[in-house]
Copies of this chain bind each other. A is one copy, B any other.
Amino acid sequence: MILRHSFMKLICDMASKSHSNDEEVETKEMDIRSLSSSGRHVHNTQYLHKVGVPPKQNLFREFTATVKETFFADDPLRHFKDQSRSRKLILGIQAVFPILEWGRSYSWRKFIGDLIAGLTIASLCIPQDIAYAKLANLDPQYGLYSSFVPPLIYALMGSSRDIAIGPVAVVSLLLGTMLSNEIDPIKNAAEYRRLAFTATFFAGITQATLGFLRLGFLIDFLSHAAIVGFMAGAAVTIALQQLKGLLGINKFTKKTDIISVMHSVWGNAHHGWNWQTIVIGSSFLSFLLFSKYIGKKNKKFFWVPAIAPLISVVLSTFFVYITHAEKKGVQIVKNIEKGINPTSVNKIYFHGEYLLKGLKIGVVAGMIALTEAVAIGRTFASMKDYQLDGNREMVALGAMNVVGSMTSCYVATGSFSRSAVNYMAGCQTAVSNIIMSCVVFLTLEFITPLFKYTPNAILAAIIISAVVGLFDVPAAILIWKIDKFDFVACLGAFLGVVFSSVEKGLLIAVSISFAKILLQVTRPRTAILGKLPRTTVYRNILQYPEAAKVPGVLIVRVDSAIYFSNSNYVKERILRWLRDEEEQVKAACQPTIQFLIVEMSPVTDIDTSGIHAFQELYRSLQKKNVQLILANPGPVVIDKLHASNFANLIGNDKIFLTVADAVSSCSPELVEEV
């Protein structure tokens, strides 16, 4: 590629001398064209409308426009325009703390909605928190801590009205797996906790930084399909992990892949299973799943699956307490500390070898947590039709986790299941999170000792019934229907998580997502166009079988911006279309191809490599005595065609507004014959 430019100049003279017969051809072409223009009586638009060249922008404005589209696409500062300085300050404070904005119009009616929703999600979150903390290999109270401080911070800074904040299953599992790769959670519990807070701190920093630098779009690089697969895989992995609690197994593998886990389960089948645990666990699991089924069957009973976990916990705890089942091998929660979050500022590793490890784990966990929270936020915002600034959301989530890491919380984010319950219970604002937080506060202060006799099997059952929803079969079926490649990404992520580990699955998901992007930019589609009968519309002949090719003219549409990554392919592909067409034409004894029209409507941009490719295409066509004609280049493209002098090379009169104009310039008689 390098030096091609100089080569071209260097050799252009020689080439033009050695092929002096080109000129003759061009004269002939000109004759045809002048003939055609005299014989024209249908399409005279191209004399009215030449392809527009947009007004030249100055460099600075062009640059700021690009920066704006990239980082400020949602125009977050539009409210600040044309405001006084003091008003701007108020708006600025409101932007950081949206509660100041919506708080002013808060009403009693809204509070009723928020109160009901808050109580409902609190009843759901308390048993879940205790269970999820176990997934992260932390003591149960840390789950409750994470449902106390973070929701309060979010209520101040967040702008989603429906999200329910707290620990979630997938992030807990991810954190648990990654942290225990570094430190043993049982032998070095204190250090493990410190690393957990460090990771939480950096997860928050990552989230806030992404939001502040307006790099939120980075999370869009994880494709929907990959997430569906990843989540389903995580659900299976989490459910499998719960077999330990559900079957009352003492010795259990630390690996999370399905083979190790099943091996561990069957290896313990003879003397490792505890039938009392199995009875309690399976009966309450059936109850939970049944309540879920009722909630799904009739939307009015959405509260049934929402309070079922709490009921299960209360009933089973009471049952164990009176029967002393814990002495018969039924494992219970045992100690759960009373009182609200202690500080943990001094526990975060700000130096030493664990700083870097915490940072790494924090970045990964923070990104996954972000993906989940932003997806929830967007879904509900579009459902209730309010604007949500993704980047501002990220700053709020980040701040919440940074504060959380200093108050003994681990990574919190928006929970899918609880947010849906929150929405259905009629929440109006983030006040429902405050209500939930208050209930958790009361629980921590007064009720935690009562959880001592809660059997682990119940927590396992609660987790299983919670993650069932992550296994989204209809979404997978829809993906299969819409896009097979997406399905491969989905399946790859799923199998990666299930058969290897959460991190591997995530890596597979990201890799496949990127591979798809790269494939997309390397191999753009091209199509041969034909004329729809009785119109001047040209369309893909594969999509419209009635579309007729114009004899002697080949019309190719390139369906992508032409960049270095595909310029060579585009050139080769156009030449291949031409070769195939020439063979067909020869076999059918039709007039040979004299004109190649490239429909450029979808070509939104072109770079230097693209221009080179077109120069080469032009030269190849010259050798074949085929005229190159361009139709409808966009503003950026026409600008660059002029800047690079390519427009002059092929002739400005070879660039047309529409394909119809271009075709009629070639041979109007033929067009009318069709």
Contacts and interface: CB of A to CB of B under 8 A. Distances in A.
A640 interface: yes
Contact of A49 (B49, B217, B517, B544): B544
A658 B537 contact: yes
Contacts of A643: 481-482
Contacts of A379: 4, 7, 616
A518 interface: yes
B484 A3 contact: no
Given A7-B379, A602-B559, A607-B486, A1 B224 contact: yes
Nearest to A514: B518
A196 interface: no
Contacts of A11: 383, 423-424
A238 interface: no
Interface in A479-503: 479, 481-486
A396 interface: no
A416 B220 CA distance: 42
Contacts of A520: 521, 561, 563, 605
A474 B563 CA distance: 20
A591 interface: no
Contacts of A619: 382-383, 385
Contacts of A223: 563-565, 607, 609
A497 to B, nearest CB: 13
A513 B565 CA distance: 9
A75 B516 CA distance: 22
Complex copy number for this chain: 2
Given A220-B569, A478-B608, A620 B375 contact: no
Interface in A420-436: 420, 423-424
A378 B2 contact: no
Contact of A224 (B573, B608, B620): B608
Contacts of A469: 3, 6
Given A608-B478, A619-B385, A620-B385, A52 B225 contact: no
Interface string A39-79: 00000010011001110000100110010011001110000
A523 B15 contact: no
Interface in A359-412: 371-372, 375, 378-379, 382-383, 385, 390
Nearest to A517: B521
Q: Is the interface of A mostly helix, strand, loop or mixed?
A: helix
Contacts of A523: 69-70, 73, 217
Q: How large is the interface on A (under 10, 10 to 19, 20 to 34, 35 or more residues)?
A: 35 or more
Contacts of A222: 564
Contact of A602 (B474, B513, B602): B602
Contacts of A524: 604
B416 A221 contact: no
A270 interface: no
A505 to B, nearest CB: 14
B482 A382 contact: no
B607 A3 contact: no
A616 B569 contact: no
Interface string A1-42: 111111101110111000000000000000000000000000
Contacts of A486: 607-608
Contacts of A544: 49, 52
B5 A482 contact: no
Contact of A484 (B63, B74, B612, B657): B63
A194 interface: no
A15 B474 CA distance: 20
A75 B383 CA distance: 48
A74 B572 contact: yes
A564 B11 CA distance: 45
A644 B481 contact: yes
Q: Which of A420, A470, A559, A576 has the most CB of B within 10 A?
A: A559
A635 to B, nearest CB: 4
A638 interface: yes
B569 A73 contact: yes
A285 to B, nearest CB: 21
Contacts of A657: 532, 537, 539
Given A525-B605, A534-B48, A601-B602, A6 B616 contact: no
A482 B611 contact: yes
Nearest to A635: B543
A120 interface: no
Name the residue among A48, A222, A537 with the largest chain B CB count within 10 angstroms.
A537
Closest 9 CB pairs of A and B: A602-B602, A223-B564, A559-B604, A543-B635, A382-B616, A224-B609, A385-B623, A52-B544, A52-B543
Given A224-B609, A560-B604, 9 more contacts: A6-B474, A217-B522, A217-B569, A220-B565, A382-B619, A385-B619, A481-B643, A520-B605, A543-B634
15 contacts: A3-B475, A45-B532, A74-B576, A217-B522, A217-B523, A220-B569, A221-B518, A385-B620, A385-B623, A481-B644, A486-B607, A516-B563, A520-B561, A539-B657, A559-B634
